Amino acid sequence: MKKLAISIPPLPAIIGAIISVQAGAAIAKGLFPALGATGTASVRIGLSALILLLVNRPNITKLNKQQWRAVISYGICLGAMNVIFYMALARIPLGLAVTLEFIGPLLLAVTGSKRILDFLWILLAAAGIVLIAPWHENSIDLIGAVLALLAGAFWAGYIILGRKTSKLLDGGQAVTIGMIFATLVVLPFGIAGGGLVNFTPVMILSGTALALLSSAIPFTLEINALRQIPARTFSILMSLEPAVAALCGLLFLKENLSLYEWMAVALVVIASAGATLTKGKNNL
């Protein structure tokens, strides 16, 4: 797995990660009725950590203080991002959850820019949020929307910390050790939620598929992409994420979005793609 990820250029790696994680999210939502959001997140992160430990076998005795600080911060942010996103996913459709969550990476992509065009992309993304904001009773769940936005803040942190960690550690080691600390963050929520007691041997197959598609494969691809490109560029290349999520929700979960909600997804994607097309060559 590690050699495969390293051999893939950044753009194909990121696209592969996007498709993988959204397919995994569709599987995850199917487990929600039995395990709950936090229980499903615990299964995903815990099994992912176990798989990565068996595959990568990191030598933790050789890490210095700087590496430990980086990978622990990365793991904590990774765990928080995942459990909060799953809590949002339990309340709102997959496509909308990812659209709102993506605001974090998008803001990161234009942070520090003084160009008028970059502010235009922010306004387009903001317009997307306005379209799906719960202005009336029949709209989306407000708590779910806030949780998705909070997950987006942790997603931006994950990108920054992931890039820093990828410079200090091999990608496979960084993800594996980070997933251990992510498990420590998520597991208490899973235990408190009570859903883990419903986990049966029959769920091992779907749980393993969830772990591979949603964590082990995409995070390994992403950490190696972050080694090769700036965090700002990485954020922009994730522009297809909301659209892929909406399509996965439609195909696998039968989650039909309204016209306004599809428009919101489209605005966020256009904002991200526009930021990509108008970037300076030196930042690519």
> In 130-154, which positions are buried (b, 16+ CB within 10 angstroms) versus exposed (e)?
ebbeeeeeeebbeebbebbbbbbbb
Number of domains in the chain: 1
263 falls within a domain: yes
C-beta of residue 159 within 8 angstroms of C-beta of residue 105: yes
pLDDT at 187: 95
Residue 226 in any domain: the answer is yes
Q: Is residue 109 in a domain? A: yes
In a domain, residue 1? The reply is no
Host domain of residue 168:
8-283
Higher-scoring residue by pLDDT: 6, 40: 40
Q: How far apart are CA 220 and CA 17, in angstroms?
A: 9
* 171 within domain boundaries: yes
Kindly state the average pLDDT of the residues 205-209. 90
Closest CA to 40 of 154, 211, 184, 212: 211
- Per-residue pLDDT, 230: 74
pLDDT value of residue 236: 66
Residue range 83-137, pLDDT digits in tens: 999 999 899 888 788 888 888 887 787 776 667 777 787 788 778 777 766 555 5
Average pLDDT over residues 139-157: 89
Residue 3 lies in a domain: no
Burial classification of residue 270, based on how many CB atoms lie within 10 Å of its CB (0-12 exposed, 13-18 middle, 19 or more buried): middle
Its pTM stands at: 0.79
* CB-CB neighbours of 85 under 10 Å: 25
Q: How far apart are CA 251 and CA 95, in angstroms?
A: 11
When pLDDT is cut at 50, 70 and 90, the band that residue 13 belongs to is: confident
Residues 226 and 159 sit within 8 Å (Cβ to Cβ): yes
Q: What tokens does 165 get?
A: 């960690």
pLDDT, average across residues 177-189: 95
Residue 140 has pLDDT above 60, yes or no: yes
Q: What is the pLDDT of residue 281?
A: 46
Q: Is 252 within the bounds of a domain?
A: yes
- Where b means 16+ CB within 10 Å and e means fewer, 193-226 reads bebbeebeeebeeebbebbbbbbbbbbbbbbbbb
Instruction: For the chain, give the mean pLDDT.
Output: 82
Contact 193, 36 (CB under 8 A): yes
In whole angstroms, what is the distance from residue 214 CA to residue 5 CA?
15
Answer whether residue 2 is part of any domain.
no
